[in-house]
Every structure is written in structure tokens, then in C-alpha cells.
């Protein structure tokens, strides 16, 4: 769990390069308590925003993903690299982000980043508690941020 005191704290969780294109989520109030992660989609649907923390940290990390155009060809089934749920090519697709000004990285994810909800639903159906699956999800998020973007974890304050 982490807390964002102001909209400025939310904006500062993103890289300086990304801060200029942030579209703030509608209907949020500060201070904002975030249990696992915060995700929202831009009004146009072109960008998906993610704010989370590294394991053992309370310092928020923000990533802005661009959505790949949905595959208009033959519908196919895909799997999210983070929550491991299956979905159609409209539900799971390539989300990309800038690693540097000259390099883009991508990962196959639920295009709305509703991974937590999907894990909770699966746990409810099987009679398990979702906490372990959600912790693994957050570890996968940080692994991507660390390996693909070079983001380092910060110790809890």
C-alpha cells in the first residue's frame, strides 16, 4: 500500500519525459490510498497509465504505455505476461513504452491493466485468497520496470 498526497506526487511518479503527456484520471481525490496499483486509460484510449511500487518500497513508479492497434484480422487468443489470464486479441495486446528517446519496449498485457480484478475473480471462483497472486503480479510489474526500463527499487521510507 502507498499513499499519494497530491496530484503533484502522482505526476512525479512518472519519468520527466512522460510528465508532459499525462492525462489525469477523472474523479480521484487526494490524498489517495493505493492498495496494490493504480491504472487508468486516457480518454482517447491511446495511452494506459500505471502507478505501483517496487516490492518493499513505498516510492511510486509510473509508466505510460501506448496501446498497439488491435489486430483487425483473424481473432486470436492471447495471454497476459503479468496476470497470465487468457483473452482475445482485443482484450490482451502489445503495450509499449519508451525506454529511452531512441528505444521502445513492449509487453503483452491486458489492454486495460485490469489484471488485479481478473486475479481476484479467478481466486473467488476457486475458493482461494488472491493475495499471493497479486503479490506475484506486482513483482512482474517491477521486473519489467527494472529489466526493460532500468528503474531501481527504492527502500521503504
What is the predicted pLDDT for the residue at 13? Answer: 97
Q: Is it the case that residue 157 has pLDDT exceeding 70? A: no
Pull the grid cell for residue 12: 512525479
Q: Report pLDDT digits (tens) over 126-140.
A: 999 999 999 999 999
What is the predicted pLDDT for the residue at 28? Answer: 92
What is the predicted pLDDT for the residue at 73? Answer: 67
Share of the chain above pLDDT 70, in %: 94
Query: What angle (nearest 5°) sits at the alpha carbon of residue 65, between those of residues 63 and 70?
Result: 160
Q: Report pLDDT digits (tens) over 30-89.
A: 999 999 999 999 988 899 999 999 988 989 999 999 997 766 667 789 999 999 999 998
What is the predicted pLDDT for the residue at 156? Answer: 47
pTM for the whole structure: 0.92
From 117, 57, 126, select the one nearest 82 (Cα to Cα). Answer: 117
| C-alpha–C-alpha distance, residues 18 and 16, integer Å | 5
Q: Report pLDDT digits (tens) over 13-35.
A: 999 999 999 999 988 999 999 99
Amino acid at each position: 500500500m502507498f499513499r499519494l498526497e497530491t496530484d503533484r506526487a502522482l505526476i512525479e511518479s512518472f519519468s520527466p519525459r512522460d510528465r508532459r503527456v499525462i492525462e489525469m484520471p477523472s474523479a480521484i481525490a487526494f490524498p489517495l490510498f493505493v492498495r496494490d496499483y493504480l491504472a487508468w486509460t486516457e480518454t482517447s484510449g491511446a495511452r494506459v497509465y500505471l502507478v505501483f511500487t517496487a516490492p518493499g518500497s513505498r516510492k511510486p513508479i509510473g509508466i505510460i504505455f501506448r496501446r498497439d492497434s488491435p489486430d483487425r484480422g483473424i481473432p486470436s487468443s492471447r495471454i497476459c505476461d503479468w496476470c497470465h489470464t487468457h483473452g482475445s486479441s482485443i482484450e490482451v495486446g502489445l503495450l509499449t513504452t519508451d525506454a529511452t528517446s531512441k528505444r521502445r519496449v513492449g509487453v503483452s498485457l491486458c489492454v486495460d491493466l485490469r489484471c488485479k480484478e481478473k486475479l481476484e475473480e479467478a481466486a473467488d471462483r476457486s475458493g482461494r485468497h488472491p493475495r499471493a497472486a497479486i503479490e506475484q503480479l506486482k513483482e512482474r510489474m517491477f521486473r519489467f520496470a527494472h529489466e526493460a526500463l532500468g528503474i531501481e527499487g527504492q527502500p521503504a521510507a
